[in-house]
Amino acid sequence: MSLSATPALSGPTGSLLTLIGKTPMVEVTRIDTGKCRLFLKLESQNPGGSIKDRIALSMIAAAEREGWLKPGGTIVEATAGNTGLALTLVGQAKGYKVLLVIPDKMSKEKIQHLRAMGADVRLTRSDVPHGHPEYYTDMAERLAQQIPGGFYVNQFANDANSQAHFDTTGPEIWEQMGGDVGGFVAGIGSGGTITGIARYLKSVGSNAQIILADPVGSTLAGIVNEGVPGPEGSYTVEGIGQNFVPDTADMDLIDTAYSIPDAEAIATVRELLLKEGVLAGSSSGTLIAAALRWCREQTEAKTCVTFVCDTGAKYLSKVYNDAWLADQGLGERELHGDLSDLITRKYADGAVVSATPDDTLDTVFKRMRGADVSQLPIIQDGRLVGIIDESDIVHVMNTDEITRQERFKKAAGTVMTRDLDTVQVNEPLDALIPLFDRDRVAIVLDGDRFVGLITRTDLINHLSLNR
């Protein structure tokens, strides 16, 4: 491999669009890769933070050339978020409006990012199949037809999608690796990445094995390995996996596929951050987990290339949030067969946001708001002595005896509820129902020791995960 020891710096540019592509490559050195060497192309370094910047630039340029997109037009697309961010980046730079249809399972960071950039975001259901009127691609196509000057990008059947990777990503990989690519791993969201790069590698005579990384629950790995769609199910990884073959995907180019469970993908991406310092998104976990499986199966030394598709900063509330993982049943938790199994934030683990009786209501409210909770336990000398919820604060605020500033200075101990509804950790689930009927949160004790809180949502989530 002939890699440049020092990256070349370019001069200033007048547009972020000129910075799309030419992303760096880094080798994985602190994770076991067997006899192989694993390289990650850091597509998270694109201006929009993902590999989708490449196809957005390509698809919009093609639409302009072919007359489908005219000045003042509206770009409409169905996206898991990253294509939407890329289309908004490119579209606004070119003066277009952008309307995006996004499944409701996408991370809130992506949705907030899109809205902050000025995109018109429409959320739709993620629990319906392709062909349903509320499936995100079907809805986007319908909206594009209804909007004057609307252009439905349709990354799933847009030739400029795969062409972007044939023209840019593939050649970059080949050059950076000095023509030494033994295995190439990618997922299928729209299908453009794996198709365009596989075609390029074959066009230059490469014998690289083309490997599909697919979430468990997506049907595509089955088509590659067995010739029939795999079992369909739900998964939390965003941006890859489908229950249909996109028109852009050329499945005949793929040699083998790995089905990666959510838990393995998330564990891999968190290990990548811990050991390699790379903050990557959830789909990157699927890709890297598949690449590691392939590398460890090889009996001779080879090189393997895959992607950090986007930055993990878009998934801090999900993949890198222990409480969210526990809610999804994906965290590594020791189960005890009692009510503590319903508690995702345990006091003994330091996960409970609390206050002391001497803290002010201002402090209590800020902690509640920061943790997105509606009640806060009050702890003194390690013991639970009371609880404050939103109604307690409202009651104090709804008085004219003192100024509002003085009200927020009141000590939590003077406002908290001391008459606590507690249950012992070894009581049955049914013991929670009377508390919820009285609109209370369940305070769980082990003898006199405070364990944590259980809300209605915690109970519903537990029942959903343990059907």
Residues labelled catalytic: 52, 283
Measured CA to CA, the distance from residue 20 to residue 35 in angstroms comes to 33
Residue 350 class from Cβ within 10 Å (0-12 exposed, 13-18 middle, 19+ buried)? exposed
Q: Is the dihedral of CA 155, 160, 163, 167 positive or negative?
A: negative
Separation of alpha carbons 242 and 223, rounded Å: 11
DSSP classification of residue 196: H
- Convert 317-383 into a string of H (helix), E (strand) and C (coil): CCCCCHHHHHHCCCCCCCCCCCHHHHCCCCHHHCCCCCECCCCEHHHHHHHHHHHCCCEEEEEECCE
Among 44, 51, 31, smallest CA distance to 292 is for: 31
Rg, Å, the chain Cα set:
26
Helix segments in 165-216, DSSP class H: 170-176, 192-203
Rounded CA separation 37/100 (Å): 39
Let me know: does 306 contact 40? Beta carbons within 8 Å: yes
Between the CA of residue 448 and those of 21, 155, 427, 435, 444, what are the distances in Å?
Answer: 59, 58, 15, 19, 10
Helices 390-397 and 361-371 pack at an angle, to 10 degrees, of: 140
Query: Which neighbouring-strand residues pair with 360?
Result: 411
